[in-house]
Amino acid sequence: MHVLGYYTLRDLLHDRWRSLLTILNMTVVVVGYLLLTALSQAFILFGRQPQITSNLVIISADALDPMESSLNDDVLQIARQIAPEQIRANFPTLFRHMSIQGHVMQVRATPLENLRADLSLTLLDGSWPDGPQQVVISEGASQITSWKVGATVEIYGTDFQVVGVVRAGGNKFASVWMTFTEGQRLFGTSRGFQIGTLLLNPSANPESVRAKLQSDPRFSGKYAVYLENSLSDRYNQINHDLLILSLIQALISLLAITFGIYNAISLSLTERSREILLLRVVGFTQDKIRSFLLAHTLVLASAAYILGWTAAFIFINFQRTHAPISIQAAPLVLKLSSPATLLGFLLTVAFAFLGVWLTIGHLSTLNLTGRGE
Amino acid sequence: MNAMPSNPPYEALIQAVGLNKVYKRGSEEIVGLWDINLSILPAEFIVIIGPSGSGKSTLLHLLGGIDRPTRGKLSVKGVDLVSASEATLTRFRRDNIGFVFQFYNLLPSLNALDNVILPLLAKGMSWKDSRSRGAAILEQVGLGHRQKHTPEQLSGGEQQRVAIARAMVVEPCVILADEPTGDLDSASANSIIALMVELKQRLGVTFIVATHNPLIVQAATHSYELVDGRLNSFSQR
């Protein structure tokens, strides 16, 4: 066995440039696979459906964007009158799309108690806003802006301090939350609020409550009632397209690594067909030649994979810190997952071996004059 | 005319009867060898001459079990090379045949000694024994001092000596040499011819040499001429 290792090493070191070119050839394929896979997984995560909640939301019937909606407290009171047994609480939300220091974000203002308890927000760092000119931001907003707890951001000409970073279940957009009082101070009260949220009792059926509200003459034609996630989906149609795109990308990445690696190895071996034929002539069996070339290929493929993974890792980290990707201000986070890395390595080795197997099979039909039998 | 002696000896090392090799290129059939009859005794020095493309290399490949005939019978040292399996042919080549090529065909990544011991490793001999035997053979061909040199560090004549040493190292009964002096200057060619003759005489190995070189013909025990795939007796000493 050590003879095999000795000859493999001698061979690789002697023809350094050819070995290096083969490795680089495969490295490019590996980097392509890893980046496409990372992008594909980021899209899948981005497009994943949010958790189902039982909240209902009300906006003006003619509003294409929640920002265009205008509601007042009467609407919420009417809703409670229509389904008093099913609705346990309600709260208003001010909603704006804004450019904050060059980043497009959603700004929401909600009463503090609802902010903490009813919006599926998880505090990751810092604290909830409890004073004037304080906000919490989503982790997506933090990633694309590098704002941390303690940072000062200017919103609508007023400085706010970031006091917390939260994870927002189901919300894909980079967001800033503040208390309802702060929102009213910032945006005024002339347009009322944009979104009314109804919290249902656990025993209530959200869809039947929604239908009941929507069919009531006091609501019909004036207000639209959605399941909270349906409203979210209405503004996230892109998710579906991204999922399809990610599947196409995943397919391309698999094709790239399988055919790319196979091709690189086949070319490399065909270039040295004369040496391989010579080993056959001096008495090496097909199996021994195959073992030698498989060992040789395993070294090349492993080196290419390690190099490719390192290059992809460096690229992704550089991209995260220097050029973060976002879709409508929602961050698209690339990362190299363990399953994709393992699958890539297995495919690399498998198709490199397939390249050896089939090329050796082809060479067995040739002689040293290069003529087929 | 065929080249088989009228009374073939019973101890023939190589026996070919009605050997044909036809290549197919699309629907066209190209005759490489036609009706070759040949009987070669042990320790002979056979030379085959003929123009390029006449089938010299093809004949050597058939005799060495690298290639198979389209028709005819061929046995070497009692082994039927026509019906033998690929595995049998590989073992047969490894144990009985040495090859020397015009362009040496040394592995460029290996030094002279490592090239020489390849057939021994293929045979399963230990690393240590292989190296010791390879070193002894390199001494015999006058390259004891060049063991660690890679092919690119050796002259053409030296590379061909390494190739001959590699062919000799398994103590084959036949060495097939395809234009062994074709890529050498006259001085190197002469020394290679002298080496082959010396090895034949000292070790009793049979040489079958395909060549254009008239000096090799002078060293032959039998010479044949191949023209358009047909073998004729050229001269006999």
Best mutation target among A13, A282, A288 (most B Cβ atoms within 10 Å) is: A282
H or E stretch covering B153: none
Same domain, A37 and A63: no
DSSP symbol at B154: S
Which pLDDT belongs to residue A131?
A: 82
Which pLDDT belongs to residue A327?
A: 67
Same domain, A70 and A134: yes
Tell me the chain B residues in contact with residue A288 when contact means C-beta distances shorter than 8 Å: 122
Tell me the chain A residues in contact with residue B105 when contact means C-beta distances shorter than 8 Å: 274, 278, 281, 368
Same domain, A64 and A19: no
In a domain, A333, yes or no: yes
Tokens 């055919």: give the residue: A259
Same domain, A195 and A294: no
Residues of A at the B interface, defined by Cβ within 8 angstroms: 2-3, 7, 10-11, 13-15, 274-275, 278-286, 288, 364, 367-369, 371-373
* Domain end marker among A203, A218, A252: A203
What number of other Cβ atoms are within 10 A of residue A201's Cβ? 13
Q: Is B47 helix (H, G, I), strand (E, B) or coil?
A: strand
Stated pTM of the model: 0.64
Which pLDDT belongs to residue A163?
A: 94
Q: Residues of B94-131 as b/e, b for ≥16 C-beta within 10 angstroms?
A: bbbbbbbbbebbbbebbbbbbbbbbbbbbbebeeeebb
Nearest to A275 among B107, B114, B123 (CB): B107
Alpha carbon separation from A105 to A101, A138, A171 (Å, rounded): 10, 10, 12
Residue in chain A nearest B127 by alpha carbon: A3
Same domain, A18 and A36: yes
Residues 6+ apart with CB under 8 A from B160: B100, B104, B180, B181, B183, B184, B188, B192
CB contact under 8 A, A11 and B109: yes
Which pLDDT belongs to residue B237?
A: 43
> Are the CB atoms for A355 and A261 separated by under 8 Å?
yes
Same domain, A22 and A159: no
Nearest to B57 among A286, A288, A369 (CB): A369
Number of domains, chain A: 2
Same domain, A188 and A63: yes
CB contact under 8 A, B127 and A3: yes
H or E stretch covering B54: none
> Are the CB atoms for B144 and B177 separated by under 8 Å?
no
Q: What digits encode the pLDDT tens for the residues B93-152?
A: 888 999 888 888 888 888 999 999 999 988 888 889 999 999 998 998 888 899 999 999
* Whole-angstrom distance, CA of residue A155 vs CA of residue A147: 14
Nearest to B105 among A2, A278, A285 (CB): A278
Tell me the chain B residues in contact with residue A15 when contact means C-beta distances shorter than 8 Å: 108-109
Q: How confident is the model at residue B4 (pLDDT cuts 50, 70, 90)?
A: very low
**What's the burial of A202, exposed, middle or buried (CB within 10 Å: 0-12/13-18/19+)?**
exposed
Same domain, A17 and A108: no
H or E stretch covering B119: helix B118-123
Q: What digits encode the pLDDT tens for the residues B148-190?
A: 999 999 998 899 889 989 988 988 999 999 988 888 888 888 8
Residues 6+ apart with CB under 8 A from A316: A35, A38, A334, A335, A336
Q: Judge whether B105 is closer than 8 Å to chain A, CB to CB.
A: yes
Which pLDDT belongs to residue B95?
A: 87
In a domain, A220, yes or no: no
In a domain, A209, yes or no: no
Same domain, A242 and A346: yes
CB contact under 8 A, B105 and A369: no
The residue extents of the domains of chain B are 43-64+91-236
Q: Judge whether B122 is closer than 8 Å to chain A, CB to CB.
A: yes
Q: What digits encode the pLDDT tens for the residues B9-39?
A: 447 889 999 999 998 888 888 888 999 999 9
Residues 6+ apart with CB under 8 A from A161: A133, A134, A135, A150, A151, A152
In Å, how far from its chain's centre is CA A41? 5
In a domain, A214, yes or no: no
Q: What is the ipTM of this complex?
A: 0.76
Q: Judge whether B232 is closer than 8 Å to chain A, CB to CB.
A: no
> Are the CB atoms for A201 and A86 separated by under 8 Å?
yes
Q: What digits encode the pLDDT tens for the residues B39-78?
A: 999 889 999 998 888 889 899 999 998 888 999 999 998 8
Same domain, A313 and A345: yes
Q: Give the domain extent around A287.
A: 2-48+238-363
- Tens place of pLDDT per residue across chain A (373 aa): 566 677 777 777 877 888 888 899 889 889 988 988 888 888 777 766 555 567 888 999 888 788 889 999 999 999 999 999 899 999 999 999 888 888 888 899 999 888 887 777 888 889 999 888 999 998 888 877 888 899 999 988 889 999 999 887 656 678 899 999 999 998 888 889 999 999 988 888 888 899 999 899 988 888 999 887 665 555 556 666 777 777 787 788 888 888 888 888 888 788 778 788 888 888 788 888 888 888 888 888 999 999 999 999 999 998 888 877 776 556 678 888 899 899 989 998 998 898 888 888 777 666 554 444 3
In a domain, A210, yes or no: no
> Are the CB atoms for A198 and A26 separated by under 8 Å?
no
CB contact under 8 A, B68 and A285: no
Same domain, A6 and A97: no
Same domain, A65 and A16: no
Residue in chain B nearest A276 by alpha carbon: B107
Instruction: Name the fold adopted by B43-64+91-236.
Output: Rossmann fold (3.40.50)
In a domain, A185, yes or no: yes
